[in-house]
Amino acid sequence: MTEYLGILIVCAIAAAIAGGFILLTSLLGPKQPTAVKQEPFECGQAPVTKPGGRFPVKFYLVAMLFILFDIELVFLFPWAVVFRGLGWAGFFEMLLFLAVVVLGFVYAWKKGALEWES
């Protein structure tokens, strides 16, 4: 636990500084809300349409696939760190895991989950 003490202290100092800056700006900053300041800022342009459009369902599907394959990398990194100590059993287990992930990717591709036109 003592080897993580330095990291914990740095994180605590960073959180204290960030919190202090937020507190100082809310206490010392000017408070003059106007109608113009309450409007959302979008590239300096006046809004053309009303906001609130829906995202297509394909966006959510691709986002979920991205998260799944990103989690695959989360599992792959620790395995790569201890690769030599695992031996052949660890190698074949990760090979099986990667095969399942690749099969899932091929299945999603064949089903058209990665195509935007439809």
pLDDT at 44: 64
Class for domain 2-110, per CATH? mainly alpha
Q: State if pTM tops 0.75.
A: no
List pLDDT tens digits, range 92-112. Answer: 999 999 999 999 999 988 988
Which residues touch 98 (CB under 8 Å, ≥6 apart)?
72, 76
Reduced to 3 states (helix: H, G, I; strand: E, B; else coil), residue 77 is helix
| Distance separating alpha carbons of residues 62 and 113, to the nearest angstrom | 7
**Structure tokens of 101?**
């992930």
- Tens-digit pLDDT profile for residues 14-67: 999 999 999 999 899 888 888 877 777 666 666 677 767 776 777 888 888 889
pLDDT at 118: 58
The Cβ of residue 65 has, within 10 Å, a number of other Cβ atoms equal to 16
User: Which amino acid is residue 32, in one-letter code?
Assistant: Q
The alpha carbon of 100 is separated from its chain's Cα centroid by a whole number of angstroms, namely 23
How much is the pLDDT for 14? 98
Domain segments of the chain as ranges: 2-110
